[in-house]
């Protein structure tokens, strides 16, 4: 299997993990309410999604509210996942593989 295809697939899996963790974090925040910061599973999901949320916070202007950053991160990661799927399909076509 070509190295470029493997790298795209690894990046896609990393994005999938972050998207699912952000989704779980959102659902848990709805269920736990204000006490979500005391929840062990919420802390684990915060740790998993922390790098992505921090990166989005750094690239967004200060006028964006901090509470909206995880939602924005979710949508940006979702579109990145779509872009990586398109890249994977393109690379499969270039290498003559059926993916």
Can you tell me whether residue 1 is helix, strand or coil?
coil
How does DSSP assign 25-53, residue by residue? HHHHHHHHGGGGGG-HHHHHHHHHHHHHH
pTM comes to 0.86
pLDDT tens across 16-35, in order? 999 999 999 999 999 988 89
Q: Which pLDDT score is estimated for 99?
A: 84
Task: Give residue-wise pLDDT tens across range 27-72.
Answer: 999 998 889 989 999 999 999 999 999 999 999 999 999 999 999 9
Please report where in the chains the tokens 């974090």 appear, as a residue: 25
**Torsion, Cα of 30, 36, 76, 54 (10° steps):** 160
Question: What's the confidence (pLDDT) of residue 62?
Answer: 93
Which residue, chain included where needed, has tokens 């005391």? 38
């Amino acid at each position: 299997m070509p190295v470029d295809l493997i790298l795209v697939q690894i990046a896609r899996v990393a994005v999938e993990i972050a998207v699912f963790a952000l989704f779980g974090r959102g659902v848990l925040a709805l269920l736990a309410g204000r006490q979500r910061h005391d929840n062990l599973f919420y802390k684990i999901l915060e740790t998993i999604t922390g790098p992505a949320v921090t990166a989005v916070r750094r690239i967004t202007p200060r006028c964006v509210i901090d509470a909206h950053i995880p939602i924005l991160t979710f949508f940006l990661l979702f579109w990145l996942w779509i872009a990586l799927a398109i890249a994977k399909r393109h690379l499969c076509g270039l290498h003559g593989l059926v993916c």
